[in-house]
Structure 1
Amino acid sequence: MNTYDADERVARFILKTYREPGEAENAHLRDCPDATVQDPDAYDGTYGCDTGCDYARFEGVITCPHGEREQFEWGDFGEIGGILDEMEQDERAASESAGR
């Protein structure tokens, strides 16, 4: 996978997560079909000094051509690869269900 593919996957995940109920602070950006993610970034780490559990962070700036912009930061237990793979499996399943 090249860097462009990785950035695109991370950007898709950020926008999808931002649009989930309760995540978006900016209603226009949540609903704007032209919203994009600038500077998508994700990194694996650990959570807690004692536990050392895998923890992934996602960051980027969500913008749209209407002048709206918001910094996005989100994290969850797991690793980036697994989180992105799960998103893509969900997308495939939804696509297959819609095609039936």
Structure 2
Amino acid sequence: MLSKLNALRKEVRALSRKAVLTVSKNALPGGPAYYEHLARFFDDLILRAAGELQIVGLAAAVELGVAARHHLTSVDPPRCAAIGQNCASCTGHCPGA
């Protein structure tokens, strides 16, 4: 169990570094535009990913202070439809909801 947690922690740190490097190419670190770009980076990742990558993305967003409530409560309708299932957090947009 501890080895799995350590591996996840390393994945979170690696994704945080990747996000910072990617965003730093477009905005100066620390400014409003920087955090806006970081938020968009994680919005795209979290809402489009699934499984472990989604969890790692959420943890990295939390680590960098850009996690948003909708990361926990919303479901991307195209992704939901693509996987063909209704989600517990669905707000009625999923097929068959």
Q: Relative contact order (alpha carbons < 8 A, sep ≥ 6): 1 or 2 greater?
A: 1
Report the TM-score, using the length of structure 1 for normalisation.
0.27
User: Greater share of strand residues, 1 or 2?
Assistant: 1
User: Greater share of helix residues, 1 or 2?
Assistant: 2
